[in-house]
Structure 1
Amino acid sequence: MATRSQQGAPSNVLVLDCTLRDGGYYNDWDYSFDLVKRYVDAMAAARVDIVELGFRTLHTNQYLGATAYTTDAFIERLGIPKHLSLAVMLNAKELLQVADQRVAVRSTFARRDHSQVSMVRIAANRNEVDKLGPSIEELRELGYDVALNLMQISEVEHPHITAFGRQAKSFDVSYAYIADSFGSLRPADIAPIMKALGDGFGTSIGCHLHDNMSYALANTMEAIDAGAVIVDSTIQGMGRGPGNVRTEYLVMELARRGLTKASVQPLVNLVEHDFAELKRTYGWGSSLYYFQSANLAVHPTYVMELTKDDRYSPSEITTALDRLNERGATSFDVRRLTDAVQGEPLHFSGGRNVDDWCTARDVLIVANGPEARAKKSEIEMFIRQHQPFVLGLNAHLPIDMSLVDAVAVCHPERAMLDTSALAELNCEVVAPGELLASLGINVKRHRDVGYRVAAAQLSFDGDGAIIPHPIVAGYALSVIAHGDAKRIFLVGVDGYSETDVRHIMMQETLDRFGEQFGSIPITALTKSGYRVQQRSLFAPL
């Protein structure tokens, strides 16, 4: 166990690289086996002290990649050199949900002498720590070193940090850690926190620091100067939200100070090829939004979710973060996110002239999802063969626009982005007149239909459509139902992950439609992740 003989910086610092574990929030821990193999080989060659390969999650009710479970069988396949120390992480939340922590640990971990894993880290919030005794004791009996990580440290007062250190010491864990979950710490904040931790635990203390405000490296070096003997990092800074201190930078800085035997050279290809490509794909890193979320102590997952959706403008994202701060958002909750992005209910006045608009006709709603783009020719053939009324969602559609009868528009930001495209359309544009006028949008053919947003409602009244969320699909469904459609078909309405706020809003909209207009069947003709009747575009009607 690393120790320091006196107050101040240690003579050697352990580097724990947790790239695959923390980076898995972007790809559901589903890395290719070849990438994982190149990664561990590079880590071994670079003489990084410890590699945390992933989580060992207790949840098995969804598809996640190999490093969410990081089983001993998976580790054996990698052929990892024996000199490379391995760790995995458990979430305290999962441990506290099981009926018997000891049984859960015993069923998840072999004895240490039958595993290449030597350390198990447990990430916990302050209110979870004192309940973890059975898990920690069981892990220690199995022969593992245990590290206890206190999350959201910026929200914990120093006396409570010291109390956490004492609690961790009573559990006889190998390391006590602090994690800057919100990335809101500045260099001047670090030394008092590490001192408080050391006062309670002793010398074997460590840190995991996020890069929301680009302070991760500076903060890590401050922590080392204040006595941290083990510090976390990731390749290219890969990690949830903005990410972490970059392993390649940390190793070079520690080597310059003579505090590590690790070398950056074996990591270069990994950094500049494999993980540079992943960064281009997932786009982690500090930004205006992560800086704001750090200042407001808003959980970074909110930023991840908001920036995934191109419907939200920069000003809408920053406004949503302000609302989240007002409502308290130190943990992620998708319902809280939904409320924040909607803000005050939208209401645009307009007409209601859709009586008998599509009476007894089949209506095909076309969205611009990947499935519609992939099946462009087949959708066009379907339209020519079956002659449905074709209603597009927004101005940009993947099919021949001469086949489209109308497009629906309701979201102000999307309408503003589509101003030129809307003006060029020859088909009818269904939108609130107040909305188009407020944005200065002129269209060739306009059907004026107003709408307002009202929680858990989807209907139609004297002011136009009433929809549960400000999404164009809900607006379109309300208008079509009032227009007395026979059947509704969907293409390009693919869906997102079930925790994505866009997916949740759309599913709730579909559910409300089914409750209110159950006599009008809705069927997806291309692959869809929503709970809706599914049929193939290629099957006869």
Structure 2
Amino acid sequence: MKNKPLLLDCTLRDGGYYTNWDFDEDLVAEYCRTVENLPIDYVEVGYRSIPVKGYLGEYFYCPEYVLKKLKKLMPSKKLVIILNEKDIRASHVNELLGPCKDYIKLVRLAIDPSNFKRAIVLAKAIKKMGFEVGFNVMYMSNWKENSSFLDLLEDLDNTIDYFYMVDSFGGVFPKDVIEIIDLVKSKTNCALGFHGHNNLEMAMANTLTAIDHGCSIVDATITGMGRGAGNLRTELFLTYLDSQKIERIEYNNLSAVVSKFEKLKTEFLWGTSLPYMFSGANSLPQKQVMEWVGMNRYPISSIVNALNNQKEAVEDNLRLPVLLKESKFKKAIILGGGKTARNSSTAIKKLIKQNEDLCLVHAGARNVGEYLDVSCEQFYALVGFESEKLLAEVKDFGSLSQICVYPPYPRVMGTIIPKEIINLSKELSAVEFTTISSDSPLVLAIQIALDKGVQEIYLAGFDGYETSINHTQYLVSQENQKVFDELLSSRDVIIKCITPTKYKNMDIISVFSLIK
């Protein structure tokens, strides 16, 4: 490395994919104070966005008061915001960027290569307002197969200040970086940048290669916090600069803020893993992998199986017999994984015994072992880890008459079914009562009950969560609440919760009041 490149830290923007762009105020303040005293040139603080559906936090919209606060905390830094080109047009520029003039130096655009021509129009409107302009062009690992968009770079040297190559899938290697840089250099004299993802743990090697071959600006984030497998770690790159005597780093403040982000990492679990490695190596989308990993619903084997199906362009790898629709039962108990399903098991079993027109549907396999001695017809709603949990609970499948039920074909995750239960397994014909999810154990359990003609559903073991919950529990509880709300608005079935619950809007009746 002959000359130190410019360094852009984008922790608050890229890390927001894990926090919904909400960060603790004290953490942000410490981050800013630390960055202010480090050899970081640009700090990307988030998106500026037009309103979109659903909740996204402070650093997705970066209102003016936030920018003012951040500039006060980092007065020597050039602050950056990014626009998602797919949502923003030149007509939005004055409204979005007018309030930013006193705080923001560089505006970057996140660009799909297929929208490159449209992005040029947007960039020219931004340049007229006096901002530096950066193009963050995604999907770098696919450029060699389709590089025609680069022909549009001619005559844009006065519009684009930085042209970034973004390794969106984290799938390139140093030789690819060199080839793509040479390709881009043949089209433009614009200053080049590199944004590496770490699926294959090549972010550092690729970044150093990019610098050695002409990139003048590179991105990093504290602890690598960023979408999917994350990015080059800021502290790693700074340590390298220090070791090469290119920059002097004061480690005390840096280590303190890194420790706080490492603590956050234990909750959100960014960083590479086998699914991210597979997706990176095969240039497969990160968003879906993030959702699968984040919900903690699927074993790694299922996620990799799903990714391999995508690679092979296979919808699903297994069809099952379809669960018969019939008016067989009037009532169903749907059993969740909460403690109350075990604590009240004696009463629930007595309720089952008193009702011949009732079936038992397990939303997952956590409490299966408690109900193996029940003689009524039972159904196991299985997704992800649940098949493995069932194997752990049931030792002898030879005597079971229960049915294992999987989501409708084709299943996004593909299908992996243990050989012990393959002959007991069926699939739903469709999930018809909701569009919220087709692979939630709760959704499957409800659809099983509806397909069997049930008119009244008793819920047990859906305890909800205490106020202090982790990110995965939060996602699951939010999904369950949406499903309950949708079901409760239906007039086709009566819903009652027979054990204590923290879910809202539930009609609660004690199981003990229902038994003789």
Cα offset for 1:321? 0.5
RMSD after superposition: 4.6
User: 520-529 or 126-135, which moves further after superposition?
Assistant: 520-529
Give 3-state SS (helix, strand or coil) of 1:365's partner.
strand
Are residue 146 (structure 1) and residue 133 (structure 2) matched? yes
Q: Is the 8 A contact 1:161 1:196 kept in 2?
A: no
Match for residue 430 of structure 1? 402
Cα offset for 1:209? 0.7
Amino acid at match of 1:195: D
Are residue 298 (structure 1) and residue 284 (structure 2) matched? yes
User: How many residues are matched?
Assistant: 480
Q: Is the 8 A contact 1:203 1:227 kept in 2?
A: no
Are residue 346 (structure 1) and residue 320 (structure 2) matched? yes
Q: Is the 8 A contact 1:18 1:233 kept in 2?
A: yes
For residues 234 and 261 of structure 1, what CA distance do their matches in structure 2 show? Answer: 19
Q: Is the 8 A contact 2:275 2:289 kept in 1?
A: yes
Are residue 451 (structure 1) and residue 426 (structure 2) matched? yes
Match for residue 281 of structure 1? 267
Cα offset for 1:295? 1.6
Give 3-state SS (helix, strand or coil) of 1:347's partner.
coil
Q: Is the 8 A contact 1:88 1:117 kept in 2?
A: yes
1:42 to 31, 34, 41: 34
Cα offset for 1:417? 2.7
CA spacing shift, 1:38–1:293, aligned 2, 3 Å: same
Are residue 488 (structure 1) and residue 457 (structure 2) matched? yes
Q: Is the 8 A contact 2:387 2:418 kept in 1?
A: no
2:382 to 411, 418, 429: 411
Matches within 5 A, 1:525-536: 534-536=505-507
CA deviation string 1:333-374 (max 9, x = no partner)? xxxxxx95x54333388xx79975x53x4x442323xxx56x
1:94 to 69, 76, 87: 87
TM-score, length basis structure 1 = 0.74
For residues 535 and 432 of structure 1, what CA distance do their matches in structure 2 show? Answer: 28
User: 448-457 or 196-205, which moves further after superposition?
Assistant: 448-457
Amino acid at match of 1:345: R
CA deviation string 1:68-118 (max 9, x = no partner)? 11222112234323211110111111115xxxx23x1111122665x2111
Matches within 5 A, 1:36-435: 36-78=28-70, 79-96=72-89, 101-102=90-91, 104-110=92-98, 113=101, 115-157=102-144, 160=148, 162-163=150-151, 165-166=153-154, 168-169=156-157, 172-202=159-189, 204-260=191-247, 263-271=250-258, 273-327=259-313, 343-347=317-321, 358-359=329-330, 361=331, 363-368=332-337, 372=338, 391-397=361-367, 408-411=379-382, 414-423=386-395, 430-432=402-404
Q: Is the 8 A contact 1:252 1:263 kept in 2?
A: no
CA spacing shift, 1:62–1:189, aligned 2, 3 Å: same
Q: Is the 8 A contact 1:206 1:230 kept in 2?
A: yes
For residues 483 and 342 of structure 2, what CA distance do their matches in structure 1 show? Answer: 31
CA deviation string 1:121-163 (max 9, x = no partner)? 1010112121123432232222211111111011112854752
Cα offset for 1:220? 0.3
Cα offset for 1:538? 7.4
Cα offset for 1:219? 0.5
Q: Is the 8 A contact 1:175 1:205 kept in 2?
A: yes
Cα offset for 1:299? 1.1
Amino acid at match of 1:287: S
Percent identical among aligned pairs is 24
CA spacing shift, 1:260–1:382, aligned 2, 3 Å: farther
Cα offset for 1:190? 1.3
Amino acid at match of 2:493: I
Match for residue 492 of structure 2? 519
Amino acid at match of 2:427: R
Q: Is the 8 A contact 2:362 2:381 kept in 1?
A: no
Cα offset for 1:188? 1.4
CA deviation string 1:395-424 (max 9, x = no partner)? 324998799877531438623333242359
Q: Is the 8 A contact 1:290 1:303 kept in 2?
A: yes
Give 3-state SS (helix, strand or coil) of 2:235's partner.
helix
Give 3-state SS (helix, strand or coil) of 1:284's partner.
coil
User: 390-399 or 38-47, which moves further after superposition?
Assistant: 390-399
TM-score, length basis structure 2 = 0.77
Cα offset for 1:225? 0.3
User: 468-477 or 80-89, which moves further after superposition?
Assistant: 468-477
Give 3-state SS (helix, strand or coil) of 1:94's partner.
coil
CA spacing shift, 1:28–1:323, aligned 2, 3 Å: same
Amino acid at match of 1:347: P
Q: Is the 8 A contact 1:380 1:403 kept in 2?
A: no
User: 42-51 or 228-237, which moves further after superposition?
Assistant: 42-51
CA spacing shift, 1:38–1:353, aligned 2, 3 Å: closer
Q: Is the 8 A contact 2:178 2:209 kept in 1?
A: yes
Q: Is the 8 A contact 2:22 2:59 kept in 1?
A: yes
For residues 119 and 19 of structure 2, what CA distance do their matches in structure 1 show? Answer: 29
Q: Is the 8 A contact 1:111 1:142 kept in 2?
A: no
Give 3-state SS (helix, strand or coil) of 1:222's partner.
helix
Cα offset for 1:25? 0.8
CA spacing shift, 1:391–1:160, aligned 2, 3 Å: closer
Unpaired runs of 5+ in structure 1? 1-8, 328-338, 442-447, 459-467
CA spacing shift, 1:163–1:258, aligned 2, 3 Å: farther
Unpaired runs of 5+ in structure 2? 407-414, 466-470
Cα offset for 1:429? 7.4
Match for residue 409 of structure 2? none
CA deviation string 1:381-402 (max 9, x = no partner)? 9979999966442332499879
For residues 344 and 398 of structure 1, what CA distance do their matches in structure 2 show? Answer: 25
Cα offset for 1:312? 2.7
Q: Is the 8 A contact 1:124 1:151 kept in 2?
A: yes
CA spacing shift, 1:159–1:383, aligned 2, 3 Å: closer
CA spacing shift, 1:353–1:290, aligned 2, 3 Å: closer
For residues 57 and 535 of structure 1, what CA distance do their matches in structure 2 show? Answer: 36
For residues 295 and 506 of structure 1, what CA distance do their matches in structure 2 show? Answer: 37
Give 3-state SS (helix, strand or coil) of 2:172's partner.
coil
Cα offset for 1:265? 4.4
For residues 402 and 417 of structure 1, what CA distance do their matches in structure 2 show? Answer: 14
Amino acid at match of 1:174: D
For residues 455 and 482 of structure 1, what CA distance do their matches in structure 2 show? Answer: 10
Cα offset for 1:470? 6.4
CA spacing shift, 1:108–1:493, aligned 2, 3 Å: farther
